Amino acid sequence: MHRVFIEPALSAHELIELSERESHHLVRVLRAREGERVQGLDGAGHRLDAIVHSISKRSVILRVEQRHIAPELTAHITLFQAIPKGKNMEWIIEKATELGARRIVPLLTDRTMMRPDASDRRQKVEKWTATAIDAIKQCGSPWLPRIEAPLSFVAALPEAGSADLSLLGTFASDARHPRSVIEEFTKTQGRRPLSFAVWIGPEGDFTEPELASIRATGAQPITLGPLVLRAETAALYALSVLNYETQA
């Protein structure tokens, strides 16, 4: 069954007009026809069983037959990701979406090579959001992460303080496995952590002053294994471990 993205504001309607982008993909790429069943995802926790009601030149209208509300994810994960070179940020966003990240904050650090200006940042967010939408359609997740405009490192620091656990991927000698950090929190707080902030550096890692600043916010150093990972692999590793530990 084909999947389509539905704007959350429209998901309660009986008849829903898809965006031009979704309509084009459903009809021109997937070759859907009137009467065909599809699944709608609104990115806010709803799955909709629907039928293609009508097709016009620029839009598709669905008729909703049934709505399903997905349970909340067991943990709210925010990924603070230093923007890597090339198109690797798109790949990170795709995989982070599949692995349940609820918010992604692209970081401009001292070693960040790509530094978009204000207009480019808006375009980047639109493109990255489209990548995340394609990811939920591919994997079937009803949760679309919120993708922020690129933030300076200094501006991002205070944003991690509200998480139950802030985790910093690092080679520091005192870095621990994420499971150990989670178990310690559970023992001292009497409950599992419900929210995480995950810090992943750029090529060459965060600078020493940046690492010190992150740790000063209370972030716990975590190991990402014995090997030197690429920035995008490090993000995937950290999110995979958290996904396993929080969904178990």
What is residue 12's predicted lDDT score, i.e. its pLDDT? 87
CATH 3.30.590.10 holds for 76-246? no
Domain ranges of the chain: 2-69, 76-246
pLDDT in tens, 88-115: 999 999 999 999 999 999 999 999 988 8
Would you put residue 182 in left (φ > 0), alpha (ψ -120 to 50) or beta? Answer: alpha
**Is 193 in contact with 242 (CB distance < 8 Å)?**
no
pLDDT in tens, 156-197: 999 888 899 999 999 899 999 999 999 999 999 999 999 999
Determine the Cα–Cα distance for residues 74 and 76; give it in Å rounded to an integer.
Answer: 7
Both tokens of residue 17?
Answer: 């007009």
Please report, rounded to a whole number, the percentage of residues in the chain having pLDDT higher than 70: 99
The residue with tokens 């349940």 is: 100
Both tokens of residue 3?
Answer: 């999947």
The residue with tokens 């690129």 is: 150
Instruction: Fill in the amino acid letter for 130.
Output: A
pLDDT in tens, 56-81: 988 999 999 999 999 988 899 999 99
pLDDT band at residue 122 using 50, 70 and 90 as cut-offs: confident
Mean pLDDT, all residues of the chain: 94
Report the DSSP beta bridge partners of residue 62.
Answer: 16, 52
Determine the Cα–Cα distance for residues 196 and 77; give it in Å rounded to an integer.
Answer: 5
Classify 146 as helix, strand or coil: strand
CATH 2.40.240.20 holds for 2-69? yes
Rounded to whole angstroms, what are the CA distances from 17 to 40, 54, 61?
A: 11, 9, 4
Mode of pairing for the β-strands spanning 195-200 and 165-169: parallel
E strands, the chain, in order: 2-5, 15-17, 37-41, 46-55, 60-69, 76-82, 103-108, 146-147, 151-152, 165-169, 195-200, 220-222
What is the C-alpha R_g of the chain? 20
**Is 165 in contact with 222 (CB distance < 8 Å)?**
no
How would you label 5-34 residue by residue, b for 16+ Cβ within 10 Å and e otherwise?
A: bbeeebbeeeebbbbeebbebbbeeeebee
